[in-house]
Structure 1
Amino acid sequence: MRRNLHSLWVLSARDLRVRYATSWLGYLWSVLDPLVMSLIYWFVFTEIFHRSVGSDPYIVFLIAALLPWVWFNACISDFTHAFQRDAKLVRSTSIPRVIWVGRIILSKGIEFLLAVPVLVLFVVFSGAEVTWGVLWFPVAIILQTALLAGLGLILAPLCVLFDDLERTTRLVLRALFYATPIIYSANDLPAGFSWLPLVNPLDGIFSMYRAAFFPEQWNTASVIASVVWTVVLIVAGVLVFRRLERSVLKEL
């Protein structure tokens, strides 16, 4: 067990070193993407369209969801080539193959945590109120980690066996961004789409992140749905991974 945890850390640390070793900006790359996205959406929806969605301060509302979205999006994108990138190492080592999924979640999760201080700064300077809901923030991190693990165990082996799945995943991620309450909240959905938070596991997780500053964003039904979806995906992920592991090794 200790050896496997060490392998997980070594591989995750390697990913971070490769990402930042030749970068002049280093740590700033962890925050630039969500920060620039937040500023663009803040400008568009407050200065051009004079928004009627979300909560004030809107910049905090955006960043509280964009940071975990960047973590989710980066992990899903990397899952599509989790084994192909280090095919020789995957085949030749005795390291459990699930670690190749876990290393992505851990390295991207560390980048997420490194970006959280940006959210804190905007909370301070915008005067956003920190509520009891901040206690749900670490719970949301744990739940998102578990959700990513389930999805990774399904997606990583399938992408080895089906080449077109990588492109399909990119299209799904684009659609999912707008189907997830990031630039708006679940409370802003029209009556005909009130079912959407119950089929999107990210909805409840993001409402937990936002509850730290916007208690009205808490949605018990969507949180329960996110927990149920996470459990289902973890079970499905374990079953799929066990079923396909040998086929993946042969294909690599």
Structure 2
Amino acid sequence: MTEHATDARIAVVTGASRGIGRAVAIALAKAGHHIVALARTQGALDELDDEIRALGGSATLVPLDLTDGPAIDRLGLSLYERYGRVDVLVGNAGVLGPLSPLGHVDPRRFDEVMAVNVTANWRLIRSLDPLLRQSAAGRAVFMTSGAAHKCRAYWGPYAISKAALEAMVRTYAAETQNTSAVTANLFNPGPLRTRMRAQAMPGEDPMTLRTPEDAAPWIVRMVEPGETRTGLLFDFPTEDWLVPQLPLPEA
């Protein structure tokens, strides 16, 4: 990372090279944030950087595998040294994992889903919480799914990981509510035209779905300093704030 101190709000976005993460990174850049873009692929990050700079924005590119916990720790230290704070964290990166009866899931595949969808987000909270607390309005948003609530057959690893993520984010919200200016919320995108959706629903016509670009402005609103709700879930299909433990409305 080569960027230095800036007056712009610093926004860390994981899975920023495609899908929802890319759309959110671009939308946040348009709104004046400096983007710290995390993804595994350098080439895709370079393309994102070109698009952000064409908009007049700025980005720091961080090629990083989120299963590398020590690398996430180093990220927090590097961001502290350069900026002294983080204003926004969008925990977007996730994997679908196998769609299979629980008893048939390979343990390594199960561990991968939990590592990316749960443990990596905990490591991000652990690494970036001190920096979010240095912000005048720290905002954290994590991607969840209706799968966490519906518990459909064969969706076990994904549903379990998202249910765990929701419990973790709500816990973090409770821990920061009265001790800082940090909020932590969940965002349920619902059916969007993404690679993961196509993987999960291969027979679905993607042109019938809304796009990541449709959802991104709502996430931008969630991380604005004036949005002080915390410990809640924003349900994009219904465009409504919900209490996470209650069943989600049918889209």
TM-score band (shorter)? 0.3 to 0.5
Q: Compare the two structures and name the one with the higher strand fraction.
A: 2
Q: Compare the two structures and name the one with the higher helix fraction.
A: 1
- Structure showing greater relative contact order (alpha-carbon pairs closer than 8 Å, 6 or more residues apart): 1
TM-score, length-scaled by structure 2: 0.34
Q: Give the number of the structure whose alpha-carbon radius of gyration is greater.
A: 1
TM-score, length-scaled by structure 1: 0.34
